[in-house]
Amino acid sequence: MGRSVRPWWLALAASLLLHLSLFGGLTWPLPQWQAPSESLPIEARLVPPPPRPAPPTGAKPKRPLPRPRPAPPPAEVAEVAEVAEVAEVAEVAEVAEVAEVAEVAVDVAPEAAPRIEARQTEIAPAEAEAVAEVAWPPLNLLPPRLDLRYQLRYGLAAGEQTLVWINEGDGYTLTSVAAATGLAGVFYRGRFVQTSRGRITPQGLQPEEFWDQRGDKRSSARFDTANDTLTLTPAKGAPRHFAYQGAVQDVLSLFFQFALTAPPPPGTLSYTVFNGKKLRDYSYEVLGEAILETGLGALRTLHLARAADGDGRFEIWLAVDRHYLPVRVLRSDDDGREMELVLLSISP
């Protein structure tokens, strides 16, 4: 019995045959695979999954992972992208408001409702008190500066008087300068100057200082609005103190107080007025409208008069179409002499 051929010899022989076929031009037909003429039968059976192992005692069961959502078709993807872009813009514009509403809607538990109702009940009295506050009617608007020139008649004397109004913010300054003219200037020398200075409030003018100068004599007064007192420093003698209640005006501010608050409400107007020497309580009545001839022509005016109280005469006519400015003033002093002012010009 011969020796068996070793495997490596077989491998060497196969290698020689392959090289000879490549270099020698031998042709070796490759085997061809043909598909079967008919498909093979496929058998499918449902096999139950193996049972899951029971979790160890005390271990928490794992939550199942969320199933991936199926991808939407291309048309739906484009529509969703466009809607997302619009929603992003709206979210940037209203993110604070949405966050606040969401926080209230999510975080407020039902048991918190009584506490919210109690808070609203506490705010209600404060709101009711604010509504109950007196709503003052708006003041008439005046230019920042006005220059009014009047013809003055005082007893038998005649002259001119200028009244200058200056408004800076909530402050005002009123200056009146009167001087005799013609023959009266021979007997009445010098000028009569009065100045009122104070603030403009929703109720009108609130004087704080008043000066009165007649020739070489000068007096001043200061209003303490916090304590409703007035201190008069006369040209001679010690200072004098006065107490008052309610609205207070001086003889100059009273003119523009009428202008700022006209037309007045029905009824009478009451003011405490400082005339340069003392305080007096006065009431004024509206007598109606009248056409008045002035240096500016015929003007429609509102006529007011002080109620008869035995303290002389005071009447004033306010130009309805000229900021309700005084165009005529008629009054009498402590000695019974009458003084009349009639408007000659207004600028601007």
- What local confidence, expressed as pLDDT, does residue 154 receive? 87
pLDDT, the chain, mean: 75
- What local confidence, expressed as pLDDT, does residue 42 receive? 52
Closest to 318 in 3D by CA, of 256, 248, 273: 256
Lowest mean pLDDT among 43-57, 155-169, 234-248, 312-326: 43-57
> What is the residue extent of each domain of the chain?
145-347
10 versus 131: which is more confidently predicted?
A: 10
Paired sense of beta strands 314-319 and 325-332, if any: antiparallel
- What local confidence, expressed as pLDDT, does residue 41 receive? 52
Q: How far apart are CA 173 and CA 175, in angstroms?
A: 7
- What local confidence, expressed as pLDDT, does residue 182 receive? 77
Whether 22 has a pLDDT exceeding 70, the answer reads no
pLDDT per residue as tens digits for the range 282-311:
999 999 999 999 989 999 999 999 987 778
Q: How far apart are CA 216 and CA 239, in angstroms?
A: 18
Q: For the full predicted model, state whether its pTM sits above 0.75.
A: no
Q: How far apart are CA 269 and CA 283, in angstroms?
A: 5
- What local confidence, expressed as pLDDT, does residue 181 receive? 87
pLDDT per residue as tens digits for the range 232-263:
999 999 999 999 998 899 999 999 999 999 99
Whether 279 has a pLDDT exceeding 70, the answer reads yes
Fold (CATH) for 145-347: YmcC-like fold (2.40.360)
- What local confidence, expressed as pLDDT, does residue 91 receive? 46
- What local confidence, expressed as pLDDT, does residue 139 receive? 95
- Mean per-residue pLDDT, 208-215: 94
Q: Which are the contacts of 315, defined by CB distance < 8 A and separation ≥ 6?
A: 303, 304, 305, 306, 328, 329, 330, 331
- What local confidence, expressed as pLDDT, does residue 209 receive? 98
- Mean per-residue pLDDT, 125-152: 77
Whether 78 has a pLDDT exceeding 50, the answer reads no
Whether 271 has a pLDDT exceeding 50, the answer reads yes
Enclosing H/E stretch for 123: helix 113-132
